[in-house]
Amino acid sequence: MNHEKILINGAWETDPSEASFTPENPATGEELDRSYPVSSKATLARLASHAANAAKALNHCDPEQIAAFLDNHASNIDSRREEISSLCHRETGLPTKPRLQQVEMDRTVDQLRQAAACARDRSWCQPRIDTKLDLRSVYEPLGGGVLVIGPNNFPLAYNGIAGGDFAAAIAARNPVIAKAHPLHPGTTKMLAECAHDAAKQAGLPAGSVQMFYNCEPEDGLSLIRMPEISAVGFTGSRPAGLSMKQAADETGTPIYLELSSVNPMFLLPGAIEERGEDIADLIADSMLAASGQQCTCPGLLIVRDSHATDHLIGRLRSRLAGAPHQVMLSSGGVRHLHESVQAIEALGADRLIGGAPVEGNAARYEHTLLRTEADHFLANSDEMQNEMFGVAALIIVCDRDEQLIECARSLEGNLTGTLHLASDTRDDELARAVSAVLRNRVGRLIHDAVPTGVSVNAATVHGGPFPATGHPGFTAVGMPTTIHRFAALRCYDRVRGAFLPPELQDTPPTPSMRRMIDGVWRTGIVERA
């Protein structure tokens, strides 16, 4: 069995590494028929060096070329929808239709095209010009490579060589070194082929898009510390993310993390009374989507005790218990989910349903609901809010309103927080008190809906306070906002016109480009004072 090749400096190359891995089909437990290299530190250093060279060339590259690359990449992926989704399904167990071939694929190509539009309109550059002082500033590429490490759960839309971080980093004219997730290396290879072809077609410098499959964790940390790496985007587990953050922090390298989140949902008494069953159905659908393997999957449900609440819990329980068990991303994921569930149980939560792997070769886990009283949760909140990555949630039952607020106060940083309120105003006072606490602990505050389903939209925020992410001022989804993560703010002080980047020259590169000139955002030529 030959190793698949890595994409390095514009060419497919056999990795000299002896070490390799072979992914499994999580639906059967069988090994797939390809083997992939585990790259050595020397190979990672070569990738970094080529990225640094590409950065120099990309810096002066026409944004139109970047946009063409992103558009071509999207079209290449689009034209291989079936083939990519089919392999991806074998690697991840995620359903081909509608999930991979339609929903996630649509999102992936749309995101690349949105990034292309942003590269083209340069809105992320935000040029600011003061004519009196002849002082000009603009967001520019970082100067080195961006390492993008995608997660297991969105093999297309968050893929290191096709997903949101990739699109954002490239839109700002940074070269990307993508690390495949080892659970879907074949999918990543196909996406890298699309990127490679698109890069050749657009004439991007060699080394603009590179890809490797895997490395030893300590070699990955070395790569993060290399001076050729200007930023890192990571979506994945908290322990891995925190070790990368530590490496990046040592060298002052910006790292954007999207780590765990339990996405607390506060279901207020009036709402439960009014439409408890509908809420249970909404939550069940949200939890079951992608077998719960989403960073926005509801994992904590906070309720007041009541007859209506019992009814809601009963409904949720029967919906989850009645749903067929889906294949999860890997047997490792099942093991990890089981450990997380057992840990919460060991802390004293009662198991309502589930709590065990499903027998057989497929990676599956019983849909799980745990329950605890608010006092018990509050006494153990640090550990009881640990993520259970799968169809598993902990219900916290409060016997007075203040406990809902206390629960909110005990929460770590999360990507989302949700409130369900009655349609009249009876829940408003409690909602205000909970919101005041919850608002500072989540990136996206939701009313009367579920946290799953993140739109690629300029008005969204897929972010939040540490440890959900690494910085509360950024979003991992949404154009052009997400591009700022991979840009440096740079100033030109009395720099001669011939040395200014196009965005800061007296005559703008495009007539529609908006620039802040002497305090006013406008289009048009700069009249030098």
Give the nearer residue to its own copies in terms of CB position, either 12 or 466. Answer: 466
Helices (H), 95-213: 105-121, 164-171, 185-202
Distance CA(173)–CA(188), nearest Å, equals 21
CB of 175 to its own copies, least distance (A): 13
Q: Tokens at residue 463, please?
A: 């972010």
Closest CA to 237 of 245, 228, 249, 229: 245
DSSP 8-state assignment for residue 98: I
| Residue 496 CB partners (closer than 8 Å, separation 6+) | none
Q: Are 382 and 406 in contact (CB under 8 A)?
A: no
CB of 475 to its own copies, least distance (A): 6
The verdict on whether 118 is a catalytic residue reads no
3-state secondary structure 275-325: HHHHHHHHHHHHHHHHHHCCCCCCCEEEEECCHHHHHHHHHHHHHHHHCCC
CB of 425 to its own copies, least distance (A): 9
Give the nearer residue to its own copies in terms of CB position, either 163 or 443. Answer: 443
CB of 453 to its own copies, least distance (A): 10
Handedness of CA 407, 262, 463, 276 (dihedral sign): negative
Closest CA to 485 of 201, 263, 177, 170: 170
| Residue 386 CB partners (closer than 8 Å, separation 6+) | 260, 262, 340, 343, 344
Return the H-helix or E-strand segment holding 146: strand 145-149
Give the nearer residue to its own copies in terms of CB position, either 324 or 519. Answer: 519
| Residue 507 CB partners (closer than 8 Å, separation 6+) | 525, 526
Q: Are 287 and 391 in contact (CB under 8 A)?
A: yes
Closest CA to 223 of 212, 209, 235: 212
Q: How many CA atoms lie within 13 A of 443 on its CB side?
A: 30
Among candidate residues 91, 193, 228, 258, the one labeled active-site is 258
Question: Helix or strand or coil: residue 67?
Answer: helix
Give the nearer residue to its own copies in terms of CB position, either 177 or 183. Answer: 177
Q: Left (φ > 0), alpha (ψ -120 to 50) or beta: where does 93 sit? A: left
CB of 316 to its own copies, least distance (A): 21
The whole-angstrom distance between residue 377's C-alpha and the CA centroid of its chain comes to 29
Among candidate residues 295, 297, 398, 407, the one labeled active-site is 295
Give the nearer residue to its own copies in terms of CB position, either 249 or 506. Answer: 249
Give the nearer residue to its own copies in terms of CB position, either 252 or 324. Answer: 252
B/e letters for 228-255, b = 16+ CB within 10 Å, e = fewer, are bbbbbbbbbebebbeebbebbeeeebbb
**At how many degrees (to 10) do helices 217-225 and 41-59 cross?**
30
Give the nearer residue to its own copies in terms of CB position, either 155 or 451. Answer: 451
Give the nearer residue to its own copies in terms of CB position, either 332 or 467. Answer: 467
Give the nearer residue to its own copies in terms of CB position, either 97 or 432. Answer: 432
Give the nearer residue to its own copies in terms of CB position, either 313 or 407. Answer: 407
CB of 145 to its own copies, least distance (A): 12
Question: Helix or strand or coil: residue 135?
Answer: strand
CB of 29 to its own copies, least distance (A): 38
The verdict on whether 295 is a catalytic residue reads yes
Q: Are 332 and 359 in contact (CB under 8 A)?
A: no
CB of 128 to its own copies, least distance (A): 4
Return the H-helix or E-strand segment holding 78: helix 63-79
Question: Helix or strand or coil: residue 143?
Answer: coil
CB of 121 to its own copies, least distance (A): 11
CB of 226 to its own copies, least distance (A): 14
The residues annotated with a catalytic role in the active site are 258, 295
